[in-house]
Structure 1
């Protein structure tokens, strides 16, 4: 097999055409020139392309595939074929590059298929890469770190702002910011989130500690004690404000109104930042500490700012 890869409704048509399956053009495995005119002749209907003629997209941000679910998809494809075509772009020497549908492509190999239905899109390399990343971000099963890296790539390679990324992917801006902040975690902690040992909620809570050594030590305890997200948040809050310690220019913990303390803790959990509240008979101020522009953007986003 020439291809290498990392193991890891249709809208109803109208008239007679909706009652008939779309015609498919079989592309042989031998390399041939893929002329745009030939592609346009099939009027957007899927080609049947040899799997070995399709290459993985180097901009693919998804790195892990559940082998059990992939096997289930392979069995379905073996029995019923690929229901939804993959999307590819034509490359030199008659080859193609995946834009969307890597799971279907991998599962088709596992199912022993020789070809796969594919729709060829005439797009630039930049458009293809953007489509791949955005399509992945719209999937529900992408893990938090894969999402964070995808957003980072959109920012780095396509110069997108967080607002633009939110619009393209249908997410709110605060979510984009929170995912990007995960990349501030030490690499080992990122790997634990990627493996599912820590959830997105756990990671957000740990970020409030800021210092690598404190995050690593707290992570070990969170995992060892199998803490829930709420327990981890309370644990981190305790580390940030140990009992008996008086926050700078803030009311001591033991004399703080319980409602004010709850509001402070909620802000810490939502923002993942250090927060102190000074309150005297219903008057006072909220102090939010930030360590960079991303943290500042998160604060503005939470306040409804642009």
Structure 2
């Protein structure tokens, strides 16, 4: 019998959730372990994660067990040598966090005074490393992934094919995410706070910016691809149906739910599955 997979745990799992089968992190040759005061850490202003979600549960785990995975940091002087325009944002903190912003926020919520870190000695490519690693994180929203991918293209002049190779994704993955960058800023905000689903946002993004509008406002979404008879029964839209292949893996189900549901609705699904 194959190993049983819990769908709710797949939906809720993020990079800070311990996994019994996950291999331990490999230390880079240019890092060294250290424990530093939380007050000595400044957040990377270029961090693509704009919203730190579900911190209460992680903070409780951190309160009981401490920070289990060290944060990746770089000395502030090294970081500012590569990014002098961030001097004001970094302030007087001796270190800048490159990876682990959610763990840092949870440690602060839990009242920890110190956290483990791995100090890097080179910040010359730290921004690219941070963007690549964040694009690969499953707990980022599609909009946050899109913004990180756009950052790679803007900063390094990569093509979509080059970005796909750098982050280990398909060119279709990159193209899908980048389509969200065609949205007007107010619609991007609606997507970020859960008022618009990813599926609706992708349809809106097909329209010229001057014709884009939130669902329910003036203007219309491009018609979804559904059979005519079913479309007529639903008034031309079929947003209430999520197609899931019964032969798919739990990971396929998770991807389908993330693609169709707004973040608030997805959080509710996780909560209900956790009670099952």
Cα distance per residue 1:16-57 (max 9 Å; x no partner):
xxxxxxxxxxxxxxxxxxxxxxxx9xx955210111111100
Structure 1 gaps, min length 5: 1-8, 14-39, 238-306
Query: Would you say 1:106 and 2:105 are equivalent positions?
Result: yes
Is the Cα–Cα contact under 8 Å of residues 202 and 232 in structure 1 kept in the other structure?
Answer: no
Q: Secondary structure at the match of 1:233?
A: coil
TM-score w.r.t. the length of structure 1 is 0.56
Residues 1:220 and 2:223 aligned together: no
- 1:112-142 Cα offsets, whole Å, 9 max, x none, are 11110001112224x1111111121111121
Q: Distance in 2 between matches of 1:190 and 1:137?
A: 18
What is the match of residue 30 of structure 1? Answer: none
> Would the alpha carbon gap of residues 85 and 10 (structure 1) be closer, same or farther in structure 2, given more than 3 Å must change?
farther
Residue-by-residue CA offset, 1:234-271 (whole Å, 9 max, x unaligned): 49x9xxxxxxxxxxxxxxxxxxxxxxxxxxxxxxxxxx
The offset of 1:76, in angstroms, is 0.6
**1:166–1:12 Cα change, 3 Å:** closer
Distance of 1:147 and 1:121 partners within structure 2: 24
Q: Which residue number in structure 1 is paired with residue 224 of structure 2?
A: 233
TM-superposed CA distance for 1:202, in Å, is 1.6
CA 1:44–1:130: 2 relative to 1, 3 Å: closer
CA distance in structure 1 between the partners assigned to 2:23 and 2:94 by the alignment: 26
Equivalents in 2 of 1:57, 1:151: separation in Å?
17
Name the structure 1 match of 2:162.
164
Contact 2:183-2:209 at 8 Å conserved across structures: no
Change (3 A) 1:128 1:12: closer
Which residue matches 1:123? 122
Paired residues in the alignment total 189
Matches of 1:49 and 1:232 in 2, distance apart?
54
Are positions 1:135 and 2:133 aligned together? yes
Structure 1 residue 232: Cα displacement: 5.4
Higher RCO (C-alpha under 8 Å, 6+ residues apart): 2
Of 191-200 and 90-99, more deviation after overlay is shown by 90-99
Q: Does 1:11 align with 2:24?
A: yes
**Change over 3 Å in CA distance of 1:159–1:12 after alignment to 2:** closer
Distance, in Å, in 2 between the alignment partners of 1:157 and 1:109 is 32
Any residues of structure 2 matched to 1:31-180 within 5 Å, and which? 44=31, 46-66=33-53, 69-92=54-77, 95-125=94-124, 127-180=125-178
Q: Which residue of 2 aligns with 1:295?
A: none
Alpha-carbon distance between aligned partners in 1 of 2:64 and 2:32, rounded to the nearest angstrom: 22
Tell me, in whole angstroms, the C-alpha distance in 2 between the residues paired with 1:234 and 1:59.
37
Q: 1:11 to 1:186 in 2, by over 3 A?
A: closer
Corresponding residue SS for 2:165:
helix
Residue 198 of structure 1: how far off its partner (Å): 2.1
Shift of 1:162: 1.2
Provide structure 2 residue ranges, at least 5 long, that are not aligned to the other structure: 1-21, 78-91, 229-276
Q: CA RMSD in A?
A: 3.0
Q: What's the TM-score once normalised by structure 2's chain length?
A: 0.61
